[in-house]
A and B are shown apart, each in its own frame.
Chain A
């Protein structure tokens, strides 16, 4: 009878962006997809709003694909994500006050985003009921969409668990990466 061979684990473990992403995906694919899509939408939205006057037509594909189609995918992922959170029996510690408020912001951004997309409705002809419901909001939707994005950014920066949480994670990962590199250099 031979001993079971167990591969030795490296210590400290190697930490980089791809290993963190793999870990996140292993824990919750929906969570990872949700955050990545959200980041893409936020960045592309900011690029359009802030750099728009200078970049002009160059932003057409960013607006159409990265903000438009990915926005549509995000709506589906968001619905699945919320379903998975609500369906989970475990009490999620991540649901802090900041997360609850963020959740409200996401809902507003999704409703206004869909409303903007439905104006002049080439695709929404398939859903006439939805178009009629959203048409009341059409003239306010862009202003609410843009203003809520900036309010959300401000809120996330000022309150814990928001934007700075993300930035701190990025900093921490690069710090650990450097440390691991330095240690492996020593040995």
Chain B
């Protein structure tokens, strides 16, 4: 069965309990950070920070009012992830239940997944030479909800079977007169396992406009090695002809 997480930024109070729970469950190191102009801390996802709360200031020119927006941000766990086929060592697995997981033991740090991901999620670490990202707590799901969901005090994150989450998202979108990002309205890469219900346009939250299909660069990356076949045939023919010519010269 496929599972999903409903993200409701209108309910988020930016307490960042999800960030802490994620660090604790995944045993990730803390980071030395400074207060950033974006208010959030740490300022972005890193090798050791799988989830973080983005702070956005929305300005309404009609009412001349500003409003804080908080967005839980981490891997979207796409249905058809672009990172997995881009990996040359097959270190990324898409599980039936929804999670997309990087096997760090297999990872060679080529960064192809970083380039392929339209959400710019995977993070490289220069010390280990590896890439990491949110695992959707695949070692807990489906018996237990992901650590971030469990820690959320306002139900801004809700975990459940995908169909139930979609129903919930539709209902909540009606209440908010908002949008659904991740399925139904916007289906980046065939849909995502983290589904957002937004009371404003996705662009206000900085969510990118991603197509439903895999980017064309992914099949190019995967299948260009077949150009070796004509190269090998051409090379073989050349060597045969060269050898033949040499034999003829020798006979003469």
Using CB atoms and an 8 Å cutoff, list the residues of chain A in contact with chain B: 48-50, 52-53, 55-57, 59-60, 62-64, 116-117, 119-120, 122-123, 138-143, 146-147, 149-151, 153-154, 157-158, 163-164, 167-168
List 7 A-B pairs, Cβ < 8 Å.
A63-B129, A116-B112, A120-B122, A149-B224, A153-B228, A157-B232, A157-B235
Within 8 A of A (CB), among B95-131: 105-112, 114-116, 118, 122-126, 129-131
In angstroms, how far is the closest chain B Cβ from the Cβ of A35?
19
Q: Does the CB pair A154–B225 fall under 8 Å? A: no
Task: Pick the residue among B88, B114, B124 that contacts A49 (CB under 8 A).
Answer: B88
- What is the predominant secondary structure among interface residues of chain A facing chain B? helix
Contact stretch, chosen from B31-39, B164-172, B215-223: B215-223
Quick check: A142 and B231 within 8 Å, CB to CB?
no
Query: Which of B91, B108, B124, B228 has the largest number of chain A CB atoms within 10 A?
Result: B108
Tell me whether B227 and A151 are in contact (CB under 8 A). Answer: yes
Q: Which of B124-177 contact A (CB under 8 A)?
A: 124-126, 129-131
CB neighbours (8 Å) of A117 from chain B are: 111
Complex Cα–Cα for A129 and B116 (A)? 22
**For chains A and B in complex, what number of residue pairs have CB atoms within 8 angstroms?**
125
Beta-carbon contact of B107 and A142 below 8 Å: no
Contact of A146 with B114 in the complex, beta carbons under 8 Å: no
- A153: chain B residues at CB < 8 Å are 227-228, 231
B110, A168: Cβ atoms under 8 Å? Answer: no
Binding site for A on B (CB under 8 A): 86, 88-91, 105-112, 114-116, 118, 122-126, 129-131, 215-218, 220-221, 224-225, 227-228, 230-232, 234-235, 238-239, 242
Q: Which of B108, B215, B218, B231 contacts A157 (CB 8 A)?
A: B231
Q: How far is the CA of A62 from the CA of B108 in the complex (A)?
A: 9
B110 proximity list for chain A (CB < 8 A): 48, 63, 116, 142
Question: With a CB–CB cut-off of 8 A, which chain A residues contact B108?
Answer: 48, 52, 56-57, 59-60, 62-64
What are the residues of chain B within 8 A of A158 when measuring CB–CB? 231, 234
A56 touches B91 (CB 8 A): yes
Residues of A within 8 A of B88 (CB): 48-49, 52-53
With A139-B115, A146-B220 already in contact, the answer to whether A154 and B124 are too (CB < 8 A) is no
| Given A48-B88, A48-B108, A154-B230, residue A119 in contact with residue B115 (CB < 8 A) | yes
Question: How many whole Å from A98's CB to the nearest CB in chain B?
Answer: 14
Question: Which of chain B's residues has its CB closest to A138's CB?
Answer: B115
Are A142 and B90 in contact, with the CB atoms below 8 A? no
B228 touches A164 (CB 8 A): no
A50, A63, A167: the one within 8 Å of B109 (CB): A63
Residues of B within 8 A of A123 (CB): 126
Provided the pairs A48-B88, A116-B112 are in contact, do residues A60 and B224 lie with their beta carbons within 8 angstroms? Answer: no
Task: Choose from B91, B112, B125, B239 the contact partner of A142 (Cβ within 8 Å).
Answer: B112
A64-B124 Cα distance, complex, nearest whole Å = 13
Partner of B224, one of A141, A146, A163: A146
A contact residues around B86 at 8 Å (CB): 142
Minimum C-beta distance from B89 to chain A (A): 4
> Which chain B residues lie closer than 8 Å to A149 at the CB level?
224
User: B218 to chain A: which residues have CB within 8 Å?
Assistant: 143
